[in-house]
Amino acid sequence: MNTLKLWMTAIGFSLSLVVSATEGMWMVAFLNRVQHAEMNNLGLKLTPEEIYSINQACLKDAIVRLNYGGCTGEVVSSKGLIFTNHHCAYDGIQTLSTVNKNYLQDGFCAKSFDEELPIPNFAISFLVRVENVTEEVLSVATIGMAEADRDKAIAAKMKEISGRNKENGKYEPEVKSFFYGNEYYLFVYQTFTDIRLVGNPPESVGKFGGDTDNWMWPRHTGDFSMIRIYANEKNEPAAYSVNNRPYEPKYHLKTNMQGVEEGDYAMIMGYPGRTSRYLTSFGIDQAINGRNPALIESFGKKLETWKSFMDKDAEVRLMYAAKYASIANTWKYYIGQTQGLKKLDVRSKKAAIENKFTEWVKGDAKRQDQYGNALGLIKDYHNEWDSQVVLATYSALCLSGGAEFMGYANALNKELKALLDEKDPGKRAEMKEALKNERAEFWKEYNANVDKGVFINLIQLFRERVAAEQQPSWMKDILDKKFKGNVQKMADEIFLKSLAISESAFNAFLAEPEQKTLTKDLGLQIAAASATFTDEIRAKNPTSKFNKGYREFVAGYREMEKRPLAPDANSTMRVTYGQIKNYKAADALIYDYYTTSNGILEKWDDTNPEFTVPSELIKLLQSKDYGPYANKKGELVTCFIGDLDITGGNSGSPVMDANGNLIGIAFDGNWEAMSGDIAYEKDLQRTICVDIRYVLFIVDKLMGGKNIVDELTYYRPAPVVSAPTPANIQEVQTPKEPLENKNNNADSPKKEGTKNNKPKN
C-alpha cells in the first residue's frame, strides 16, 4: 500500500495549512507532503525516498540505534565505522579501562582493525522497515470493552504481530503505540552485537565542561566517539569472533567539510526517547509540585554520596564514572525542566489548549459523545494519583531503586528460593554456576563501602521526607525495634553478614542451601520488603483512567487542530528539520550560532577538573595549528546550534545538510528551553552539536588517527565560479579522499552536478 496515501488518510491532514518548520519529531517512514514541502522550502534537496525506502539504499540505512534506544549513531564509512557521542560509548569505554590503562581519562585511538577493542554488552540495530498495523491491532478493541481487558487484548495482538515478523530470528520486530493508543506501527530491526571501540578523545575533550556546562550554551565539548560494527563472512550479525570482519553497510554518510552558516538548512535523524507534548495542565502541576522535587532531591543525595568516595579513590572514580554521569545528567535535566515549566508558564499554555478543546467539544453532539469525558478522566486520574506521587518517587529512588544492592538482593532472593525448590541435581548445579557468574558480573563495577554510604543516606532521606504512617512496615519492625532507628547500625549488620554482599556467606549458602538462611538474612528481607512496598504503591495508580482519558483527548485534539501533529517520541526513528540559528536567551543576551577553540582557552582551568585541557591540545590551539579543519575565517569551530527538535536518545544523531551529508553530531539541548519535552519553545529551543571539523581535528591532530580521517568519504560540491582569492588569504582544503575507498561516491542520494544538488552561494 502507498504509505504516503495511508498516512494522509489515517489522520486527515489539510495540505493547505502552514506549519512550523521546526517543531516535531516526524516519522521518517511517513513524511507527508506538508513536511516535505516545508523541508524543501528551507533548502532540502532530497526526496522522501532518499530519506526512507525499503527498495533502495537511503539515509535510513546509515542511522543506527544504540543499545535498544539509549543513543543514536551514524555509519560514516564503507567499513562499518560509526560516529556517536562520547557519552554514548562512555560505559563501554569505562568497562575497557583500568586505573593503569585509563581510556576514559587518556583517550584511545586504534591505528588498525587489529587494535580495535571489543565492547562487551553493546548492540547496534538497523531499521529494516516500518508498517502501519493500526487496523489489525485495534480490531481486538471492541466498543464498551473494559480498559484492562482492552489493554490485555491489544498487548496480545502486538506480541502476535511481532512474533510472525522475526523470520527465524533474523530480525527483532516490535510494535509501538503512537498518539496514546490511537495508532500502532511495526518496526523491524536487524541487530549486531560484535561492536568494537575504534577511538575516543580524552575525557578532558569529550566531557569538557563537565556538569557545569551540561545543557548549557556556549559549549566547547568534543562529545564524540568512534565504534565499528563487525559481521561474519556473509556480512550478517554474529557473536564476537576473531574471524569476523568490518561490516559493509548498505549506505554510509558522506562528510561535509564546508561548515555551516546562519540560516543553512539542517536536519537530524535518530531515535529520540521520550517526550510528553500532549501533557495537560494537571500533569504540569504534578511535575512541578510532586514528582520533580522528590526526584531531584533523591538523585542529588546519591550523587553527593558517590562523589564523596570518588574524590578519594581513583579506582572508585573510574568504577562509578559512567553511573555518576548518567544520574547527573538526569538530575540536572529535571532541575532545568522544573525551572522552565515555571518560568515559561507552561501550565497556563496547556490550560488554554484545554479550554479551547472543551469549547470545541461542546459545539457538536457527536464530539461530546466521543471526547466529552476525556479531560474529566484525566482530572480524576490526577485527583487519585497525585497524592501518591511523592511517596512513589521516594520509594522507587530511595528504597527499591536506591542502593545498588537492593535491586540485586531482591532478584537474588527469588533465584535462591528457586534453587531451594529445584530437586534435580543436574539443574541445581547449573543454577549454582549461573548464580556465581551473576555475582561476579555484579561485583565488577560495585564497591560495598560506596553502596553502604548510599544506603544509609537514602534511607535517612526517605524517613525525613515520608510521614511515619506511610513508611513500610519493616522500618517500624526492624529499623526502630531492633536498631532503635539507627540506620548506620542496621547497615553495618547488613553489609557484614548478608549473602548479597558477603562472598563467604554467599558461598556457604550455595554449599548448604537452607530456607532459614534466607529467612534470617536481613539484607534479603529488607530488599524484598522494599520492592513489595514500591509495587503496592504503583498498583494504586489508576492507569485505566489515564490511558482512556489521554487516548480520547489526543484523538480529539488532532481532529480539532486539522494540521500535522507529530507523535511523542518513543525510541523510534524520527527526523527533525530546521535551520542553523542563534537565539536570544534573555534581555540583551543574544548567543551566536557557533563557538570556536578560543572558548576552550578562555575556559581552561587546571585547578578545576571539569575544565582541564590536554597540554598537546593547548599547544595546537595556541599556535593555531588547525590544519585543513579551520573555517573560511581561519577559526576552528567547535560547536554550533540550530532550531532542531530533539530529546534524550538523539544523543549521537547525525546533523546533516540539505543533501544528507554529515556536518555535525548532536549531543545536547539548551538550558533556557529545558521544558521543551513538554512544550516546544520555537524561539528558545536549540540543539547543540559538535562540528564535524572539530571532531576530525581532534582525531587527526590530537589522537593521531589519520587512518580514520582517510577512511571517510567526503562530499565535494561542484565548483563555483567566483572572484579570484586574494593572494594573502589561504584557501581551506578538505582532507584528501582515500583512493582505496572504491564506493566513496557510489551511494550518495544525490550525485554531484545534478540539478537538485547545486551548492548554495
What CATH number is attached to the domain comprising 91?
Answer: 2.40.10.120
pLDDT at residue 33 in the model: 80
Average pLDDT over residues 437-463: 96
Average pLDDT over residues 314-322: 96
**Is residue 511 in some structural domain?**
yes
Average pLDDT over residues 67-95: 97
CA distance 431 to 624: 61
**Is residue 169 in some structural domain?**
no
**Is residue 183 in some structural domain?**
no
Same domain flag for 355 and 458: yes
pLDDT reading at 499 higher than 90: yes
pLDDT reading at 4 higher than 80: no
Same domain flag for 294 and 268: no
pLDDT at residue 13 in the model: 29
Same domain flag for 198 and 316: no
pLDDT, tens digit (0-9, with 9 covering 90-100), for 601-633: 999 999 999 999 999 999 999 999 999 999 999
Same domain flag for 613 and 467: no
Same domain flag for 527 and 640: no
pLDDT reading at 698 higher than 60: yes
Same domain flag for 238 and 290: no
Same domain flag for 77 and 217: yes
Domain count, the chain: 2
pLDDT reading at 318 higher than 90: yes
pLDDT reading at 727 higher than 50: no
- Nearest to 18, CA basis, from 562, 657, 578: 562
pLDDT at residue 720 in the model: 52
**Is residue 307 in some structural domain?**
yes
- Nearest to 177, CA basis, from 191, 162, 190, 192: 162
pLDDT reading at 692 higher than 90: yes
Q: For 451-455, which contacts have Cβ atoms below 8 Å and span 24 or more sequence positions?
A: 451/403, 451/404, 451/405, 451/495, 452/403, 452/491, 452/495, 453/305, 453/308, 453/309, 454/302, 454/305, 454/306, 454/402, 454/403, 454/404, 455/402, 455/403, 455/405, 455/406, 455/491, 455/494, 455/495
Same domain flag for 243 and 306: no
pLDDT, tens digit (0-9, with 9 covering 90-100), for 588-603: 999 999 999 999 999 9
pLDDT at residue 756 in the model: 36
CA distance 585 to 85: 26
Average pLDDT over residues 418-446: 95
pLDDT at residue 742 in the model: 35
| CB distance 510 to 488 below 8 Å | no
**Is residue 471 in some structural domain?**
yes
CA distance 600 to 611: 8
Answer positive or negative: Cα dihedral of 600, 603, 606, 610.
negative
Choice among 225, 530, 651, 675 that is catalytic = 651
**Is residue 144 in some structural domain?**
no
Full residue range of the structural domain in which residue 495 is found: 281-538
Average pLDDT over residues 58-79: 97
pLDDT at residue 586 in the model: 94
pLDDT, tens digit (0-9, with 9 covering 90-100), for 540-558: 999 999 999 999 999 999 9
**Is residue 546 in some structural domain?**
no
Same domain flag for 527 and 405: yes
pLDDT at residue 733 in the model: 39
pLDDT at residue 53 in the model: 96
Q: Is 223 a catalytic residue?
A: yes
**Is residue 170 in some structural domain?**
no
Same domain flag for 368 and 271: no
pLDDT, tens digit (0-9, with 9 covering 90-100), for 261-316: 999 999 999 999 999 999 999 999 999 999 999 999 999 999 999 999 999 999 99
Q: Is 651 a catalytic residue?
A: yes
Same domain flag for 746 and 693: yes
Same domain flag for 571 and 488: no
pLDDT reading at 205 higher than 60: yes
Average pLDDT over residues 371-375: 98
pLDDT at residue 23 in the model: 83
Instruction: Identify the domain boundary among 523, 538, 553.
Output: 538
Concatenating the DSSP letter of every residue in 649-671 gives: T-TTPEEE-TTS-EEEEEEEE-G
Choice among 61, 77, 86, 87 that is catalytic = 87
pLDDT reading at 345 higher than 70: yes
